[in-house]
Amino acid sequence: MTFKTDLPVMMPVKPHEPEPFLRLKLWHVVPIALLCIVGTTLAFAADGDAKQSPLAVLMNWAPLLLRGFIFNLVISVSAMALGTAVGALLGLGQISPNRIMSGGSWFVTQFFRNAPWLVLLFFAMFLLPFELSILGLKIPFPDWFKAILGLSLPVMANVSEIVRGAVKSLPSGQWEAAESLAYTRRQTLWLIILPQCVKRMLPPWMNLYSILTMATVLASIVGVSEVMTLTGRALSAEGGRPELLAPFYGFVLLLFFVYCYPIARYTVRLEKKFAVIN
Amino acid sequence: MEFFFDWFRVLNQETGVNLPFLYDSYDRNRIFNGFLTTIWLSLVCLFFSVIIGVIGAWLQASSFKITRRIVNGYIQLFRNTPPLVQLYFFYFAIGTMLPRVENDWGGQSPLLGSFAWAAISLSFFAGAFNVEIFRSGIEAVPKSTVEAAEALGFSKLQIYKDITLPLAFRVVLPALNNNLVNLVKTTTLAYAIAVPELLYEANQIWSDNVNVTEMMIFLLLAYFVLVGVLVGGMNRWERSMKIPGYG
């Protein structure tokens, strides 16, 4: 039997559970972005002018921009490799028992972590020579190489912190157990501590990579011809038509989004997978 | 003070270490204004990004699917695209679409200047991260606390404003701290659209005086100090906000 009442206690129980956390799927964003580009295009195409529509212009330039974007990716991968290699050493330096070593590594890490990426890029761009001569052998330093060096500085500092954080996050019992089994410090580090750290370091490391990828456009400010520089040149080659600005910059945004979003999603998945359940 | 400044002039003559922003009053003004612009831009962006974060986190917990989707779309879009491209997009693409206004000299000028666009773009960029940070803080507030507030007859907005947010704020302060430091460092991007901030003014000075090395080292130290002051202040705030027995 049913009661005719509005007392809350008599109401049928409605489960008050929040729905699973929803995110926009990747394919949701692509049509939206396309709609933005196509929409503006149609609006301008309706002008009936003899000029090419913005979308057609964009299509003309797309191969060049894509090539520029691949250059960005090359810069990001190289800077990441270099930064990780040096940063791992620096991170190990930070946890060294030697006071001078750990203090020095700490200072270098903090210094490069607290400096803006752009300033570090300027630093590398202007203060490195354009060529280096060793024993009469002239090694040229092209600007993209200097950009890689400049971007790897902050990466190095961040990787150093990731390594230190991962080692510090391991329970101290691991160290003590290894010590009681008569492992030397080096053996403990290489055979016991670091293998466990790799799992913990992977998500923040991937996060850092995606930040670095997004930072590669900074190289355009210092004149490396990557996707942003090429976009600017393409725009001026088209005579600086204002209606082209939104589709072109939108296209660059889309390129980065399509590349970085899967990385971000995968990072979140890894984080969940590796999460330490207390 | 004059003596102090003159010492750097002598230093330049004797050793070639050229620091014109200390002995030359024109350059001193430039670098000082650049410093103020950087701080002002940082403060404006800090303020708006925190507001975006709070509102966004509230909308993300709303019971409407569409609201949550829009907020998530905003977060993912701004987190996964380069801030510099966002800045260009706002400044060049959207900025040119807006109507122009007549300025004091009778000419035409854009509705919003480069500073305003830098502030808007960077606020949205940092705000996207802040939404996620605040959301994680809100999720960290025990459900029983919210239920207790509900039982006491608080409305949804009151619960968010008076119960969840103050507790969540204390949880998220370290993460927020990190993001705000990043924001201060990101203000250098405003250089690209000619906002006269510290990096831009330093660039002007080293173009005039050809003292790139000195200016670079000064820049690194200046940002080091700026970030250090922010971190110190935030840490103090964190300690003063601490509730004994919570967190």
A264 interfacial to chain B (CB closer than 8 Å): yes
Inspect the interface and report whether the beta carbons of A127 and B213 lie closer than 8 Å.
yes
Domain ranges of chain A: 56-128+140-274
Taking 70 as the threshold, does the pLDDT of residue A22 lie above it?
A: no
Give the model confidence (pLDDT) of B60-119 as tens digits: 888 888 888 999 999 999 999 999 999 999 988 888 878 777 777 777 777 788 899 999
Q: What is the pTM of this model?
A: 0.80
> CA–CA distance from B105 to each of A165, B102, B111 (Å)?
57, 8, 15
CA distance A189 to chain B (A): 29
In a domain, B103, yes or no: no
B85 vs A114, A127, A249: nearest CB: A249
Measured between CA atoms, the residue of chain A closest to residue B98 is A242
Alpha helices in chain B (DSSP H): 2-15, 20-23, 25-60, 65-79, 83-88, 95-97, 114-140, 143-151, 156-158, 165-186, 198-209, 212-241
CA distance B1 to chain A (A): 29
Domain range for B11: 2-95+111-241
d(CA B226, CA B220): 10
Classify domain A56-128+140-274 at the CATH topology level: MetI-like fold (1.10.3720)
Give the model confidence (pLDDT) of B121-150 as tens digits: 999 999 999 998 988 888 888 889 999 999
Instruction: Suggest the residue from A17, A114, A146 to mutate for an interface test with chain B (most B CBs closer than 10 A).
Output: A114
In a domain, B21, yes or no: yes
Give the model confidence (pLDDT) of B4-22 as tens digits: 777 777 877 777 777 777 7
Taking 60 as the threshold, does the pLDDT of residue A2 lie above it?
A: no
Inspect the interface and report whether the beta carbons of B185 and A256 lie closer than 8 Å.
no
Mean pLDDT of A82-111: 92
CATH of the domain at B160: 1.10.3720.10
Residue B162: left if φ>0, alpha if ψ -120 to 50, beta else—which one? alpha
Number of CB pairs < 8 Å for A and B?
116
A277 interfacial to chain B (CB closer than 8 Å): no
Q: What band does A84 get if pLDDT is binned at 50, 70 and 90?
A: very high
Query: Are the C-beta atoms of A228 and A42 separated by less than 8 Å?
Result: no
Q: Which residue has the higher pLDDT, A16 or B13?
A: B13
Taking 70 as the threshold, does the pLDDT of residue A4 lie above it?
A: no
Query: Does ipTM surpass 0.90 in this model?
Result: no
d(CA B129, CA B45): 13
Measured between CA atoms, the residue of chain B closest to residue A256 is B81
In a domain, B219, yes or no: yes
CA distance B5 to chain A (A): 26
Cβ within 8 Å of residue B48, ≥6 positions away: B119, B123, B127
Q: Residues of B with CB below 8 A from A215's CB?
A: 82
In a domain, B90, yes or no: yes
Domain count, chain B: 1
